[in-house]
C-alpha cells in the first residue's frame, strides 16, 4: 500500500508497521512519546519519523494529502459508481487486491464516512500493512457522510446553536447524504463476507444537538444487526481532539503555541469560535457514550473510543492537545479537526495493537 504524502510514496519501508519499539507498548493506554532511533535488529527505520512540517505540501494544498485522494469525493453530486469501485477488492480504484488470489488474504476492512474517515486512511493502511487483512474505503464531504437525513426543520430552537443545526441539516439535505449512505450500504451488502470489518467515522460537528445523536444511533444499530447476520464486525471510530487554531498555521516555532489546546477544551462545540455552545463538552460525552453503548449492546460492534484516540494525541505531561505528535515537532493536524498524514500514520502502530487485542487480526 502506498500513501501520497509530501510528493513521496510512503510504504512500510518508510513508515513500518509495529515491528520495532511499538511492539512492547501494546498494553499501555498512556500517551507514547515516539522513539526516534531504530530499536530492534534489522529495522530499517524507527516507528515514527519526524519531519519538517513547514515543507510538507499538504499543509498548503489539500490535494497533496488524503483529502485529494480519488476515493474521497469532496463535492456533491456524489458518484455511487465510484464508491462501488473503491469498495470492490481488485478494482483498479480500490486500495485492495482481489480476495484470495494467490497468497492474498481473503478478509477485508472497509472504511466509510466523511472527511474524518478520509483522514484516517493512513492510520488504517499502516495498521494493516503486512497483516492478513486488506483495506478499502469510500468517503464524501460537503456535509455528507455515513449518516441519516438530519431533522428538517432542525430541533434546536431552545439552544444557542440554532445556526449550526440549520447548517448541518441543510448541507446534508442538499448533498443528498442519506442517499449516498443507503447506496454504500447496498454496495457493502454485495461485497461483505464473514470475518470482514466495516469501520465508520463521522465528525462530531455533525451532532450539534442530542436529536442528531439519537438519529445516528438508530442507523448504526440497524447496521450492527446487519453485520451480525452476515458474520461481520462494525467498528465505530471516535474523533480525535480538536485544537483551537488550524494546524497549518502552526508549523513554525513562532506560531506553534497558537494551536496548543487544553485537553478539557478540545471538543468541537466547546471550541467553536463563532458561538461556543454552552453544553459543547456534554455533547462530546454524549456522542462517546452513544457509541460505547452500541458496542456494549451488540456483539458485532467494537468501538475505538475517544479516550483511546485522545490519549495518543494529547500530551500527558501538560494535559494539552496539538498541534504536534507528542514528543516531536511534527504537526499532526491540518486544521482544527483533521489529522495530517503524519498524524494519522503515527496512530497506525497503536491501531495494529488494538485490532490484535480485540481479535480482529
* Helical spans, DSSP H, in 138-231: 162-174, 177-191, 210-230
The H or E element that residue 4 is part of is strand 3-5
Supply the pTM of this predicted model. 0.89
Residue that the C-alpha cell 441519516 belongs to: 148
DSSP letter at 301? E
pLDDT (tens, 9 = 90+) of the chain, 361 residues, equals 334 333 333 333 333 333 333 443 444 443 343 443 333 333 333 456 667 788 888 888 877 777 778 889 999 999 999 999 999 999 988 878 888 877 777 899 999 999 999 999 988 987 887 788 999 999 999 999 999 888 888 888 766 678 889 999 999 999 999 999 999 999 999 999 999 999 999 999 999 999 999 999 999 999 999 999 999 999 999 999 999 999 999 999 999 999 999 999 999 999 987 667 778 899 999 999 999 999 999 999 999 999 999 988 998 888 999 899 887 788 999 999 999 988 888 888 788 888 988 999 8
- pLDDT on residue 61: 81
Set of cell numbers at residue 54: 513547514
Percent of residues in the chain assigned helix, strand, coil, to nearest 5: 40, 10, 45
- Alpha carbon dihedral 233, 128, 46, 316, in 10-degree steps, equals -20
Q: According to the model, what pLDDT value does residue 70 have?
A: 83
- All domains in the chain, ordered by first residue: 58-240+274-312+330-357 (3.40.50.1110)
Burial 286-296 (b: 16+ CB within 10 A, else e): bbbebbbebbe
Q: CA angle 196-117-352, nearest 5°?
A: 55
Q: Which three cell numbers stand for residue 348?
A: 497506525
| Radius of gyration from C-alpha coordinates of the chain | 19
pLDDT at 158: 63
pLDDT at 159: 62
What integer pLDDT is reported at residue 248 of this predicted model?
A: 94
CA distance 190 to 80: 14
Amino acid at each position: 500500500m502506498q500513501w501520497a504524502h509530501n510528493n513521496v510514496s510512503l510504504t512500510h519501508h518508510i513508515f513500518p508497521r509495529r515491528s520495532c519499539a511499538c511492539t512492547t507498548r501494546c498494553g499501555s493506554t498512556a500517551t507514547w512519546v515516539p522513539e526516534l532511533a531504530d530499536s530492534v535488529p534489522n529495522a530499517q527505520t524507527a516507528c515514527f519519523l519526524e519531519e519538517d512540517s513547514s515543507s510538507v505540501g499538504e499543509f498548503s494544498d489539500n490535494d497533496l494529502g488524503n483529502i485529494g485522494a480519488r476515493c474521497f469525493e469532496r463535492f456533491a453530486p456524489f458518484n455511487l459508481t465510484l464508491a462501488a469501485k473503491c469498495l470492490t477488492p481488485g478494482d483498479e480504484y480500490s486500495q485492495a487486491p482481489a480476495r484470495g488470489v494467490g497468497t492474498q488474504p481473503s478478509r477485508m476492512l472497509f472504511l466509510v464516512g466523511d472527511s474524518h474517515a478520509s483522514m484516517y486512511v493512513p492510520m488504517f493502511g499502516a495498521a494493516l500493512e503486512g497483516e492478513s487483512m486488506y483495506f478499502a474505503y469510500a468517503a464524501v464531504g460537503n456535509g455528507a457522510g455515513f449518516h441519516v437525513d438530519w431533522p428538517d426543520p432542525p430541533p434546536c430552537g431552545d439552544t444557542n446553536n440554532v445556526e449550526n443545526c440549520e447548517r448541518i441539516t441543510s448541507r446534508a439535505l442538499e448533498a443528498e447524504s442519506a442517499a449516498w449512505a443507503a447506496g454504500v450500504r447496498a454496495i457493502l451488502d454485495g461485497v461483505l463476507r464473514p470475518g470482514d470489518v466495516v469501520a465508520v467515522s463521522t465528525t462530531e460537528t455533525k451532532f450539534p444537538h442530542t436529536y442528531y445523536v439519537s438519529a445516528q444511533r438508530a442507523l448504526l444499530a440497524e447496521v450492527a444487526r446487519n453485520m451480525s447476520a452476515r458474520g461481520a464486525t462494525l467498528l465505530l471510530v471516535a474523533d480525535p481532539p480538536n485544537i483551537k487554531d488550524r494546524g497549518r498555521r502552526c508549523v513554525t516555532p513562532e506560531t506553534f503555541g497558537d494551536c496548543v489546546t487544553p485537553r478539557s477544551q478540545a471538543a468541537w462545540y466547546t471550541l467553536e469560535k463563532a458561538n461556543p455552545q454552552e453544553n459543547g463538552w456534554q455533547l462530546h460525552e454524549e456522542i462517546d457514550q452513544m457509541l460505547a453503548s452500541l458496542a456494549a449492546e451488540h456483539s458485532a460492534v467494537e468501538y475505538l473510543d475517544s479516550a483511546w484516540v485522545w490519549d495518543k494525541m494529547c500530551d500527558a505531561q501538560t494535559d494539552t492537545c496539538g498541534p504536534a505528535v507528542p514528543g516531536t515537532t511534527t504537526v499532526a493536524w491540518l486544521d482544527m479537526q483533521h489529522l495530517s498524514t503524519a498524524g494519522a500514520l503515527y496512530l497506525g502502530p497503536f491501531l495494529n495493537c488494538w485490532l490484535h487485542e480485540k481479535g480482529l487480526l
